[in-house]
Amino acid sequence: MVIQERKIKGHSDCYEESYPVVLAKKLYASGHMMPVDGTLVTGEVAAHINHGRWMVECPYAPCPSKQIVNLDVLVFYCGHCANWSNGGDFYAVALPDDREAIEAALLQRPIPEVMNWGPTETAASLLAENVVHGVG
């Protein structure tokens, strides 16, 4: 049995292919082209943790897209709508300043399905939840 390191996952932990390759495939499948200049970054989207994975949701209200965050390059480009509401520019991905404390609190939980965090929560509130549920 192979024991995997417990950690909150990003793109490279979930996909064998690089973020640009996965993104290009999603864009092609939805009829869009990969942007020529990936350095155009306008605006920001906040990351959250869902089932032990750093995620972002497309901020364009009609778009249903959610993606695992590329923790190596903190940008978001929607593979569904091609960042239509942002003029096609990339968004910067915002991670919390206390990321390590949040991850540590969540990693005390026994299974990924209960490793969830949103930007309005604190590491202290996660630790309090852990105590209530008898973990940590």
Which helix (H) or strand (E) segment holds residue 115: the answer is none
| CA atoms of 34 and 28, how far apart (whole Å) | 8
- List Cα–Cα distances, 56 to 10, 50, 123, in angstroms: 11, 10, 19
Tokens representing 90 are: 């990339």
Nearest to 32 by CA among 79, 65, 69: 79
Q: Over pLDDT 90: what percentage of the chain? A: 52
Q: Model-level pTM greater than 0.85? A: no
How would you write 36-100 as a 3-class SS string?
CCCCCEEEEEECEEECCEEEEECCCCCCCCEEECCCCCCEECCCCCCCHHHCCCEEEEECCCCHH
Mean pLDDT of all residues in 83-96: 90
| Structure confidence by residue, pLDDT tens digits, 100-109 | 999 999 999 9
Mean pLDDT of all residues in 77-84: 87
The band of 1, judged by pLDDT with boundaries at 50, 70 and 90, is very low
Is the pLDDT confidence value at 5 over 70? no
| CA atoms of 87 and 22, how far apart (whole Å) | 21
| Structure confidence by residue, pLDDT tens digits, 45-66 | 999 999 999 999 999 989 999 9
pLDDT given at position 40: 75
**Of 49-63, 69-83, 106-120, which range is least confident?**
69-83
Mean pLDDT of all residues in 73-91: 87
| Structure confidence by residue, pLDDT tens digits, 30-39 | 776 666 555 6
CB 99: neighbour CB atoms within 10 A? 16
How would you write 12-34 as a 3-class SS string?
HHHCCCCHHHHHHHHHHHCCCCC
